[in-house]
Amino acid sequence: MIQIDEKEGIVIFQDKKYNIGSPEAFKIISNAWIRSGWDAKYVYSFAWMGRPIIQLPEDMVRTQEVIFDIKPDVIIETGIAHGGSLIFYAGLCKTIEKGRIIGIDIEIREHNRKAIEEHFLYPYITMIEGSSVDESIVNQVKTQLTDEDKTVIVLLDSNHTYDHVLKELRMYGDMVSVGSYIVATDGVMENVVGAPRTNPDWDTNNPKKALEQFVKENDNFIIDEPTFPFNEGVITERVTYWPSAFLKRIK
């Protein structure tokens, strides 16, 4: 049970008191906020330049920090849905005057395809319809890469089961350039078991467990939390649906 006394500026958790402005109190409150937001479907309330984007704002801002730092030639994303994240990444490419997006989805619904294709940022986007772990689809993605594409980042946001994400990691990992990342999103699944819209096996059947297995079998990657490029506060951890999501290629 969490007690928050705003007047006194304290948080009480497990019979311990914390200053409300401490990293410990912030983490306690953030964990409760994450669970509350899941139940309330908070992430279903945002759009980016006209397209729904079903992500926590912090996850997108932190990803922007990484993208701006590495300035990729290609951003590959599995999972398109309404296209909000494709548009988000395309806008970054336009702003930094570098890069393009390849989006893969097992089904691109016609109204979503039409809206994306009519968007002014569509020239930065290529969409491929099919399963992200179908070998023919993976080969299509590879044919989109050229010798000039020195820096590639991959974001996995399609089917979030352990088996599917592990397959994606194995199939797309080699496309990632040294110093860049493959990002397995939505590992928060293991932390919300028992909440609405969850399954009992999510404690093990989730992207976070898949990436942990992947780094055990592939020493080219490490789980590497990107540092904040700017921080004048006391918080050093992300408030995120993507815990331990960033796998950096080191060789």
Instruction: Please check whether residues 156 and 175 belong to one and the same domain.
Output: yes
The CA distance from 184 to 156, in Å, is 5
Residue 215 CA: distances (Å) to CA of 158, 159, 212: 20, 20, 6
Instruction: Please check whether residues 19 and 84 belong to one and the same domain.
Output: no
Taking the model in full, what pTM does it have? 0.97
Q: Give all strands of the β-sheet with 10-13 in edge-to-edge order.
A: 2-5, 10-13, 16-19
Q: Which domain holds residue 183?
A: 47-249
Determine the pLDDT at residue 3.
96
Instruction: Please check whether residues 76 and 35 belong to one and the same domain.
Output: no
Looking at residues 103-119, what average pLDDT do you find? 98
pLDDT digits (tens, 9 = 90+) for 132-158: 999 999 999 999 999 999 999 999 999
Q: Where does the pLDDT of residue 204 fall: very low under 50, low under 70, confident under 90, or very high at 90 and above?
A: very high
Looking at residues 37-55, what average pLDDT do you find? 98
pLDDT digits (tens, 9 = 90+) for 87-108: 999 999 999 999 999 999 999 9
Instruction: Please check whether residues 89 and 208 belong to one and the same domain.
Output: yes
